[in-house]
Amino acid sequence: MRFFKEIRKYWGFAKYAANCDLKAEVANSYLNWLWWVLEPLATMIIYTLVFGIAFNSQEEYFPIFIIIGIMMWDFFNRLVMSSVDMIRGNQHIISRVYMPKYVLVIQRMLVLAFKMMINFGLVVIMLMIYRVHINFNILFIIPILIVFFMFCFGFCLLIMHFGVYVSDLTKALNIVLNFVYFLTGIFYNVGTSFPQPFGYLLQRVNPIAYFLFCMRKAVLYGETPSVIMLFVWFVISLGICVLGLRVIYKNENDYVKMV
Amino acid sequence: MSEIAIEVKNVKVVYKLNQKFSIQRNLIRRDAEKAKVYEAVKDVSFSLKKGEILGVTGKNGSGKSTLLRALAGVFRPNEGTIDLHGNSISLLSLGIGFNDNLTGRENIYLSGMLLGFTEAEIEAKENAIIEFAELGEFIDRQVKTYSSGMYSKLAFAITSNLETDIILIDEVLSVGDEHFQRKSLARMEELIRDDNRTVVLVSHNIETLERLCTQVMWMNDGIVMEHGDTEEVLEHYREFMS
């Protein structure tokens, strides 16, 4: 398939470019890469203070509960927001040489995945501090992340495509993502906070909420996430990826002429 | 030396204007304009043998740069075919190409990789490129700190040192100061003299075309007016323009 052949060809580029992006981000800042640790750490502390103490949340291991939420949400949110302007922002490249346009999304995903890894390092440290009992269910992280990345990739291909043609998509997305943010349960439990069956449904219909739900289950509470439901989301994500790639392949020819 | 390097058949490239829309405008007034179509390249066919140097000239807006970008694969033609017979190709043009937030050195690697070179191949050429670009310590500074002259010097150094089978040049022979111009022209001639290299050169400068090209194509309003012997075509072009 064309996609896999191209991936092999452009993987080196995506990796190198992502590496450069990361370096450029910290090159001129005083605290350097420490920012990557401080950012999620500070958010965790703020949320724990506000929702854990002021709003008196009853979730077990609340700081870890939150940091897992931030980890996944930041990845998704940042990827979506940067996808809107991705074609315009990389005009200097695409107007000079052909590249499959989805490579740009992959490059961005690599950057964000690296930050996510740092975030995950924080999760591991917190798990040790809180002496959380973990079991083999933690291995579910791998399939959960695979489906999560697939969903993000496919979804952002579509966002990138529409970003070229719709001039105020950023504004619209800001509102939509704000809405989704509160329905995803970064700082509260979606499943138990809404009256049933809405909570139950929301946790499964909102993909990000679902991935979060699974992740917390596997890491924090040592429970097995629903394999069937995860498989359903795998199939849906695969569908979105195929659709996204088709749209990109069909239209990428025109992107250069638009920007 | 009769192997064909570039074969272009009935190529047409269309730009659609007014294709953008905004959610707000469409929700409030449902009068999204129909996209207008502009044909930048209407019907161009030519073939070029390996080792030839084709000059393309014509007044502004005649479709030269669009044709070049279609050749480079930046976009596919809307109609017609372009066959490069498996040759690698790079487009050298002014004012575009780098990520401003990265250093010159990083940009060398990124450009090289997109042109299809491996990291090791670029590493082997890295010093030659840096030396040619005469950037000194600026090579490890962000490209946004460069002057426009340094910018184009680096662009020229990359494309002229990472040699592809076909090189497309869009008006870049006037890069940098006089010293660098002479140097780049010399380098260009060196590249061009290589019998295995095919070059398409877009320029308004008749002197340059006369000096470098083995044949010239004159374009006007997206079609080929004349294609053939350098002196003959240029003479007709000069008459037409005056």
pTM of the predicted structure, to 2 decimals: 0.88
d(CA A240, CA A156): 10
Task: Assess B109–A contact: CB distance below 8 Å, yes or no.
Answer: yes
Closest to A181 in 3D by CA, of A150, A153, A154, A208: A208
pLDDT at B18 over 70: no
CB contact under 8 A, B102 and A165: no
Confidence of residue B35 (pLDDT cuts 50, 70, 90): low
**Is-cis flag, bond preceding A195, omega within 30?**
no
Q: Is the Cβ pair A96, B75 closer than 8 Å?
A: no
Measured distance CA(B98)–CA(A91) in Å, rounded: 10
Q: Does B98 touch chain A (CB under 8 A)?
A: yes
Higher pLDDT, B242 or B228: B228
Q: What is the DSSP letter of B99?
A: -
How far is Cα B146 from Cα B190, in angstroms, rounded to an integer? 27
Instruction: Classify the phi-psi angles of B46: left when phi > 0, otherwise alpha if psi is within -120 to 50, otherwise beta.
Output: beta
A221, exposed or middle or buried, with CB in 10 Å at 0-12, 13-18, 19+?
Answer: middle
Nearest partner of A213 among A131, A142, A144, judged by Cα: A144
How many residue pairs bridge chain A and chain B with CB atoms within 8 Å of each other? 80
> Is B106 an interface residue toward A (CB < 8 Å)?
yes
Question: What is the least distance, in Å, from the CA of A184 to any CA of chain B?
Answer: 25
Does B195 or B50 have the greater pLDDT score?
B50
CB-based contact, A103 to chain B, within 8 Å = no
B-chain residues within 8 Å CB-CB of A92?
A: 96-100
Q: Which two tokens stand for residue B205?
A: 């400068």
Q: How close, in Å, is residue B126 to chain A by CA atoms?
A: 16
B29: confidence class by pLDDT, cuts 50, 70, 90: low
Q: Nearest-CA neighbor of B211 among B219, B220, B203?
A: B203
Flag whether residue A12 sits within 8 Å of chain B, measured between CB atoms. Answer: yes
H helix runs in chain B, sequence order: 23-28, 64-72, 104-114, 119-133, 148-161, 178-193, 206-212, 230-241
Pick A57 or A89 by higher pLDDT. A89
SS3 A121: helix
The verdict on a CB contact (< 8 Å) between B22 and A167 is yes
Decide if A95 and B69 are in contact by the 8 Å CB cutoff: yes
**How far apart are alpha carbons B195 and B51 in whole angstroms?**
5
Phi-psi region of B134 (alpha: psi -120 to 50; beta: other; left: phi over 0): left
A93 at interface of B, judged by CB pairs closer than 8 A = yes
Residues of B in contact with A97 (CB under 8 A): 72-74, 90-91, 111, 114-115
Least confident of A153-157, A190-194, A247-251: A190-194
Residue B159: pLDDT over 60: yes
Nearest chain A residue to B24, by CA: A168
- Sheet strand arrangement including B79-83: B79-83, B4-17, B36-49, B223-228, B215-220, B53-57, B198-202, B166-170, B89-93
In this prediction, residue B24 has a pLDDT band, given cuts at 50, 70 and 90, of low
Note the pLDDT of residue B1: 47
Average pLDDT, chain B: 83
**B114 touches A at CB < 8 Å:** yes
| Residue B191 pLDDT level (bands cut at 50, 70, 90) | confident
Pick the residue from chain B with its C-alpha nearest to A22.
Answer: B102
* Tokens representing residue A4 in the block: 């896999």
Contacting residues for A222 by C-beta, under 8 A, at least 6 apart: A133, A134, A135, A137, A138
Per the CB < 8 Å rule, is B102 touching A20?
A: yes
- Residue A178: phi and psi, rounded to 5, are -60, -45
State percent of chain A over pLDDT 70. 100
Tell me which chain A residues have a C-beta less than 8 angstroms from the C-beta of B100. Answer: 92
Q: What is the ipTM of this complex?
A: 0.82
Give the separation between CA B91 and CA B6, rounded to whole angstroms.
14
Q: How high is the pLDDT of residue A35?
A: 86
Residues of B in contact with A173 (CB under 8 A): none
Identify the band that residue B33 occupies on the pLDDT scale cut at 50, 70 and 90: low
